[in-house]
Amino acid sequence: MSSAKSKPTHTTPADSTRAVDDFMAKLEHPCKAGVEALRRLMLGLDAGIAEGIKWNTPSFRTGEYFATTHLRGKTGFGVVLHLGAKVRESPAGGFAIDDPSGLLKWLGPDRAMVEFERLADFNDKKAEFERIVRRWIVHVR
């Protein structure tokens, strides 16, 4: 399911793959390989997804940023899925993501976290995570 939209234009140096590459080159984290795998998955999901550094960590956007890596834990890594920088009302018709595997930990009505223990855990959950992200980005275009 590829979007007809092209990747959003970069408006600042932080809104670029180069900024993420620079960030990753300096990153010292036990799950760095998992974060790289996450980047590949996110950028490969849809031609309209771009990356940048937002909130001091690799983040992903279509028209707006919708996913931000969570690297603050001493083990594992996560992704916060959201509907943009500001809390907003749920989209018309409600906002629900089918999550039979229970990957989403809801943090509010418009944001949820998915956590991975390590690269192997990410790989085990990759197909379900990809399905969730594909449904999520429909709400942020």
Q: What is the pLDDT of residue 11?
A: 72
Give the integer Cα–Cα distance in Å for 116 and 31: 9
Contacts of 14 (CB under 8 A, 6+ apart): 52, 53, 54
Structure tokens, 42:
């996110």
Q: What is the DSSP letter of 37?
A: H
Contacts of 38 (CB under 8 A, 6+ apart): 69, 77, 79, 122
Instruction: List per-residue pLDDT tens for the chain, 141 residues long.
Output: 444 344 455 478 888 999 999 999 999 999 999 999 999 999 999 999 999 999 999 999 998 899 999 998 778 999 999 987 665 555 545 568 889 999 999 988 889 999 999 999 999 999 999 999 999 998 886
Q: pTM for the whole thing?
A: 0.85
Classify domain 17-137 at the CATH topology level.
Aspartate Aminotransferase, domain 1 (3.90.1150)
Query: How many other CB atoms are found less than 10 A from the CB of residue 72?
Result: 9
Question: Which residues partner with 60 through β-bridges?
Answer: 51, 67
Q: What is the pLDDT of residue 133?
A: 96
Share of the chain above pLDDT 90, in %: 67
Q: What is the pLDDT of residue 89?
A: 59
Closest listed residue to residue 56, CA positions, set 76, 98, 97, 27? 27
Query: In which residue are the tokens 């970069």 written?
Result: 10
